[in-house]
Structure 1
């Protein structure tokens, strides 16, 4: 494969160290990626700090032009980027292509936004409220969407006038590094910097005194560490953290079409999605039919290398997550009844059969915790009020969905669920103009839309 380099101060530079990148479908080393030293991290942050004053003074139109140019270069190189995503992340190539397309679309949308300046009518004073850039931003990217998650952070940060240091996950650095190589000529030196670590530089980055904001997507446990690291210098934070999203199926829902939609929302990217459906609550009247419909879809799914056109589900992304899921399969078999899947696939690669678990309830690991993989528990309920109470009895609150043939009733139930986003008859329907953020331990702040843009700004009030 191509040589890869860090991006520091507008230059493509080798890492002081290297780390192997594994293809999760074969368990073979794809290549060795550059790995930054602590000194290189400091160089990247200092470059962002030095580039900030000039970038903050550019016009919004200049920044919009840069975002549009980035969207174009992503589109022009979509085949190469999609191939890299499949090689290092494992998802089917058609899903990787959608990830690339979504990335370009988010950059194009962000280029349409305005940075507001508002006035407050007052007979005793003239008040203007401005939104100013913050300074260097750290953007920390997870391994499940190594390109798309960049588009959750970078276009908003750049449009607001900030400079950025991006740190991808160590198991999926290649797509991000190639993105940096493509984008480097489109931005002034130091405006975008990309470093790679082996999970050893995160604390140094989030606590660095020159970083003024951290935008992080990942687990709640790591998010708490980010918050602690940022506290000494009172950095701004946007944290999109773990979820244990439920789908609440009302008694009047048609099992077949609803099961089809829920299966897709649970198993897209092999269930490795923060917003994937991770537990389903079904009324007893439809429980058996619904479980059977999910099991049919699980058994029909083709698991394999993402390069094969027939593949529905690729591998689990990394060995650590794979081992965690093997443990969850054991506990799920002990605590419930596996009606489909439940096994690993022999041979190389981190492959698991999509698994449906019935006759299971709260108080078990697979229901209470975020599995982040292709295992779906289905829980029975008899009373809707009790079901809503049980759905809300979690420390997570990222997303949820309510399914019913009566949309008005479903919306009423949705308003009773404690989550950042509650969908009706759909799930994980993200759009760049719709704000997205978690409740409870699932996050701090908002991404996307005008509200997401303001997260990257400092308010200044001029009163005279």
Structure 2
């Protein structure tokens, strides 16, 4: 299959092509088009020209376009899921889950409204609050969940009356380009544009004077650069950045019952998700027992090509990240105790078997930093107050979780944790209808939910003297 850019309603070739690599076997999936600076200019110009007409389009018609896109994705779910598995490496059932989240996001936002709110209406004055579009949105996407993170920005942005330029990551462009093919005749020309690059167009897109807002998901390091560049023109910015999510097990947990959920919460997508468990705090009195149960459970999982129906965990997505995670693995061997996994199989593919590391604590790179790969440190604590203090000591604050047989007790601890989302007896439970806020060095703003929609609006007050 050939893939095209989407610029001004047309599917077009890039100025050159690059091969997209399957991380499971290092084979070439397909060639991807690559845009140049001229095509970026055309995409932004098309978006700017289309935006005013799109903003004037009744919201019901904009919502209908989203519903149509959701229906197209549903009809092509099998193809989309397979493509996600090929370029991301995620096991096929979880690739279907991502495609289904895209459908849910389209459905959810197609039901949202942006009605004016009357604050005051008396004999002297009428005050009305309106939510109006920003203009052109630039959405810069990562490689770990390319399609869901694309729709998380596209759906609320266009419903609010903005136009958008999407730039997927160079190592996972294909599923987003396929999405562009599906929507090319749904939205008016220029409302949605998709360009690709080789990590060389992001700065120009962020700095473009016709871009009113930048929506980015990725590392905190890159997020700081985007924020700094956007500040020159006082652009609006939403950033969903790195996480180092802590999970605290209270002493009363039924570890046998929750072990599968903990393993999934830590190793979903081979831990290449910003909001999976990155640090597991375990009561000292049960440390050995919990380590043994988790190691026994994780040792049963199979790592391999995501198209294999027996596989639970796939590869690291790209060679650069693979090398980074191997560095963390070497650190774990030097100064911790690996109790499960820790293998780098010979042969093709960027595989590291999911790894549990005990006998490490705060101050260790595995605990303080984010490997963004399948290595989980298990840290002992002596009392819950100490665990809360250590969990909150991180500069990151994306997510956290508390696990207990007593839900009320867990909720009391959850209220003390500094994170945008705190789950109780689960982790990384996401839904397009639920806001996903950021805090601390994990970002600015909110994705998903009603609040995620309002991130793509300006607040305007109409104040009328009678």
| Normalised-by-shorter TM-score class | over 0.9
Q: 1:108: which partner in 2?
A: 107
Match of 1:224 in 2: 224
Aligned positions, number: 463
2: CA distance, partners of 1:434 / 1:126: 33
| Match in the other structure for 2:153 | 153
1:357 aligns with 357
Counterpart in the other structure of 1:319:
319
Per the alignment, residue 411 of structure 2 pairs with 411
* CA apart distance, 1:13: 0.8
CA distance in structure 1 between the aligned counterparts of 2:181 and 2:120, rounded to whole angstroms: 48
1:328 — aligned with what? 328
More off after superposition, 8-17 vs 431-440? 431-440
1:174 corresponds to: 174
Partner of 2:42: 43
Comparing 441-450 with 70-79, which one deviates more in the overlay? 441-450
SS in 2 for 1:185: coil
Deviates more, 1:163-172 or 1:443-452: 443-452
- Verify: 1:68 aligned to 2:67, yes or no: yes
Deviations 1:334-375 (A, max 9, x none): 121100111201110001111000011011111001111110
The alpha carbon displacement at 1:259 in A equals 2.1
CA contact (8 A) 1:337 1:357 kept: yes
Distance across 2 between alignment mates of 1:278 and 1:259: 15
Partner of 1:7: 6
Partner of 2:31: 32
* Equivalent-residue separation in structure 1 for 2:115 and 2:53 (angstroms): 20
The reply to whether residue 202 of structure 1 matches residue 185 of structure 2 is: no
2:97 and 2:46 map into 1 onto residues whose CA distance is 33
Instruction: Tell whether the 8 Å contact from 1:255 to 1:286 is kept in structure 2 after alignment.
Output: no
Task: Tell me the distance in 2 between the aligned counterparts of 1:134 and 1:75.
Answer: 30
SS in 1 for 2:262: helix
Q: CA deviation at 1:226?
A: 1.0
Tell which deviates more after alignment, 122-131 or 302-311: 122-131
SS of the residue corresponding to residue 184 of structure 2 reads: helix
Instruction: Give 1:20 deviation, angstroms.
Output: 1.6
- Is 26-35 or 194-203 further displaced after alignment? 26-35
CA–CA separation in structure 2 for the residues paired with 1:120 and 1:5: 48
Alignment of 1:128 with 2:128, yes or no, is yes
User: Distance between the aligned counterparts of 2:257 and 2:100, measured in 1?
Assistant: 27
Q: Distance in 1 between matches of 2:202 and 2:332?
A: 33
Note if contact 2:101-2:432 (Cα within 8 Å) is conserved in structure 1. Answer: no
Write out per-residue CA displacement over residues 26-67 of structure 1, whole angstroms, 9 at most, x where no aligned residue: 112222210010111111011000000100000010011000
Normalised by the length of structure 2, the TM-score is: 0.98
2:378 aligned residue: 378
State the partner residue of 1:282: 282
CA distance in 2, matches of 1:134, 1:391: 37
Detail structure 1 runs of 4+ shifted over 6 Å in the superposition. Answer: none
Deviation of the 1:443 alpha carbon? 1.0
User: What CA distance in whole angstroms lies between the structure 2 residues aligned with 1:405 and 1:84?
Assistant: 40
Match of 2:78 in 1: 79
Q: 1:122 Cα shift?
A: 6.2
3-state SS of the aligned residue for 1:301?
coil
Q: Is the 8 A contact 1:89 1:144 kept in 2?
A: yes
Distance in 2 separating the partners of 1:271 and 1:73: 30
